[in-house]
Structure 1
Amino acid sequence: MQKSRSLAFAFVAPALLVLAAILGWPLVSAVLLSLQDVRTIGSQGQWVGFTNYSTVISNPMFWTSVGMSIVWVVANAALQTVLALMAALTLNQNFPGVKIARTWIILTWIVPTVVVVIIWRWLFSTSGGMINPLMMQTGIVSRPVGFFSTPWTAMATLIFINSWRWFPFIALMMLAGLTRIPADLYEAARIDGANGWKRFTRITWPLLAPTLGVLTVVGTLLSFNVFDIIWLLTAGGPAGGTRTLPVMIYETAFKGYKLSEAATISVLATMLLMAFALVATRWLAKEGDSR
């Protein structure tokens, strides 16, 4: 047994070393940069210790961006989970064309971000877009809505677009979890007289919970780091209403020419994500042991 473990570790060790170098070196470089005073890439800086950390933590804009990031992550997680669960439950049924639907649902995920941005910017445009005329014709609104004109509408619109793009991927992961649930359980529940809701709450949801837990952790980490859609559509505006931490890091480094402060924000964001991942993985492990 000991020889087998040693042999397995010997085979895995090179990959682990490469992964540690790829992940570790940028993180160490960011920490070292955060302890200096560097304005632009390539310029010389001097050691300032934890001055950048005190500057960032005392900046109200940092805490506002933290709050925006939390709103962004929670709202995306909720909407994506609901959409993905509905799609997965539908695709788990046996109906004509289900194989084609399972294949093509991933289309929105593989479309390049720039294409997604161009499509939705046109759809939500107040001049020539399709969403406002449809809403006005159906009586939902009486005049065009500026989806990117106010902080809360811009954030809500970005959450919808990002969820639209990512929920198919999560749906496929959920579908994989649903296919592992034995069909005999559903058949026995039908014989016992359980309706659809009871079958969902007593069989589907409990057995799918481990998959949902893992997807929640992974989805949270991915959503937190989304930058491209936010920057291309609103650039953190209007009035900073969509300025999440990744957007603030970019602005600080490449618009404010404060590379060390941007590295400091990156380190703090990494610590926040690591703390969340540690707590979440421990909670998942405890839930798994209880089952």
Structure 2
Amino acid sequence: MASHNPSRAKSGDGRLALLLLALPLGLLAATLVVPMISAVNISLHDIRVIGSEGPFSGLDNYARVLTAGSFWHALGVSALWVVGNALVQTVLAVLAALVLNEKFPGVRIARIWIILTWIIPTVVVVIIWRWMLSPSGGMINPFLISIGLIDRPIGFFSSGPMALASLILINSWRWFPFVAIMLLAGLQRIPADLYEAAAVDGAGPIARFRAITWPLLQPTLLVLTVMGTLLSFNVFDIIWLLTAGGPAGASETLPVLIYETAFKAYRMGDAAAMSVVASLMMIGLAILLIDRLAPKETGR
């Protein structure tokens, strides 16, 4: 009778795991590491147009970028953009997830329909919202006038703060269903016995949410916070299609500035330097968020 060797079986499983991981890790390296190395190389040269050659300039591009007021302005707008999206999306997603977690007629249909705003193409989203927010012919201005909030049509993209706020609401409208579905999955993993025990003890809905729902959603919220921050920071399409960074740079986030620097000002070296700096900032922010938001183990 053949003997079974546990250590040999574990070794074989380990080699199989490495073999299975080799392809995805190779693809990740090809699509992430290689372009990043190329960006660093471009950032060290004075390249004007993509695909052309340029003399080695060392850290001159980084010095020029980090001393430019446009870079810090775009970084500040990006910070407002990320924080605004995080707050609006989280509030809308939590409320939607709590509603969809309840049992009521048509809940299955509601869970399907809520995801439609996320799968609609960006161009379609832009067309819909540009028409709805139009000062002439749109439906938002007449509605606000009818309920007495405004007395005449306003241009949602004509002033700086209004344009940025409108973009945040549009982007949050598109992305909060995805966050809501992720939170709904987290809610459905919470044992119903906990809510029943809390109800027996006299805890109301708000107390149950604070004592059970919110703490047990922390792991899911951690992942969504990190992912949402990185994804929101890199949003380019909605901003560019609706305002192109205007008016007067009020909605010019860092990705928009990088695009304009590379393909309108023809300073590819400067754009690459901005990209490298932004990538390092995002990596640092992700590490900070994971460290601050991750549940801390308490010693016994």
TM-score for the superposition, normalised by structure 2: 0.94
Deviation at 1:44, TM superposition (A): 1.8
Deviation digits for residues 170-228 of structure 1 (CA, Å, limit 9, x no counterpart): 00000000000000111111111111110100010011111111100000000000000
Give, in whole Å, the separation in 1 of the partners of 2:178 and 2:33: 28
Q: Partners of 1:137 and 1:14 in 2: how far apart?
A: 59
* Corresponding position of 2:297: 289
Residue 220 of structure 2 corresponds to 211
Residue in structure 2 matched with residue 182 of structure 1 by the alignment: 191
CA 1:219–1:34 in 2, change beyond 3 Å: closer, same or farther? same
Q: Retained in 1: the 8 A contact 2:142–2:153?
A: yes
Equivalent of residue 119 in structure 2, options 110, 113, 138 = 110
Q: CA deviation at 1:96?
A: 0.1
Q: What CA distance in whole angstroms lies between the structure 1 residues aligned with 2:101 and 2:27?
A: 39
Q: 1:54 to 1:89 in 2, by over 3 A?
A: same
12, 28, 51: which one aligns with 2:21:
12
> Secondary structure, in 3 states, of the residue corresponding to 1:37?
coil
Structure 2 Cα separation of the partners of residues 288 and 82 of structure 1? 24
In the other structure, the counterpart of 2:109 is: 100
The aligned residue for residue 146 of structure 1 is 155
Q: How many residues align?
A: 290
Code of the residue aligned with 2:258 in structure 1: it is I
Question: For residues 186 and 16 of structure 1, what CA distance do their matches in structure 2 show?
Answer: 42
Q: Tell me if 1:243 matches 2:274.
A: no
Provide the C-alpha distance between the structure 2 equivalents of 1:117 and 1:14, rounded to a whole number of angstroms: 37
CA contact (8 A) 2:222 2:290 kept: no
Max Rg structure: 2
| Paired residues of 1:210 and 1:288 also in contact (CA < 8 A) | no
TM-score in terms of structure 1 length: 0.97
Output one character per residue of 1:217-240: Cα deviation in whole Å (capped at 9) or x when no partner. 000000000000000000000000
Match runs of 1:1-291 below 5 Å: 3=11, 4-285=13-294, 287=295, 289-290=297-298
- Give the partner amino acid of 1:117: V
In the alignment, the residues of structure 1 paired with residue 27 and residue 124 of structure 2 have an alpha-carbon distance, to the nearest angstrom, of: 34
Identity %: 59
d(CA) in 1 for partners of 2:197, 2:279: 47
Return the letter of the residue paired with 2:216.
Answer: L
Tell me, what secondary structure is at the counterpart of 1:85? helix
Amino acid at match of 2:112: T
User: Hey, what's the Cα distance between the residues in 1 that align with 2:134 and 2:24?
Assistant: 48
Q: Can you list the C-alpha shifts for 1:237-286, whole angstroms capped at 9, x where unaligned? A: 0000000000000000111011111111111100000101122223344x
The residue type paired with residue 297 of structure 2 is: D
Q: Deviations over 1:77-130 (max 9, x none)?
A: 000000000000000000000000001100000000000000000110111111
In the alignment, is the contact (CA less than 8 A) between 1:177 and 1:211 conserved in 2? yes
| 3-state SS, counterpart of residue 145 of structure 1 | coil
In structure 2, distance between residues paired with 1:124 and 1:290: 51
Q: Secondary structure at the match of 2:247?
A: coil
Segments of 5+ residues of structure 2 without an aligned counterpart are 1-6
The residue matched to 1:197 in structure 2 has which SS?
A: helix
Cα distance in 1, alignment partners of residues 286 and 22 from structure 2: 24
> Over aligned residue pairs, what C-alpha RMSD do you find?
1.3
Structure 1: give runs of 5+ residues left out of the alignment: none
SS of the aligned residue for 1:46 comes to coil
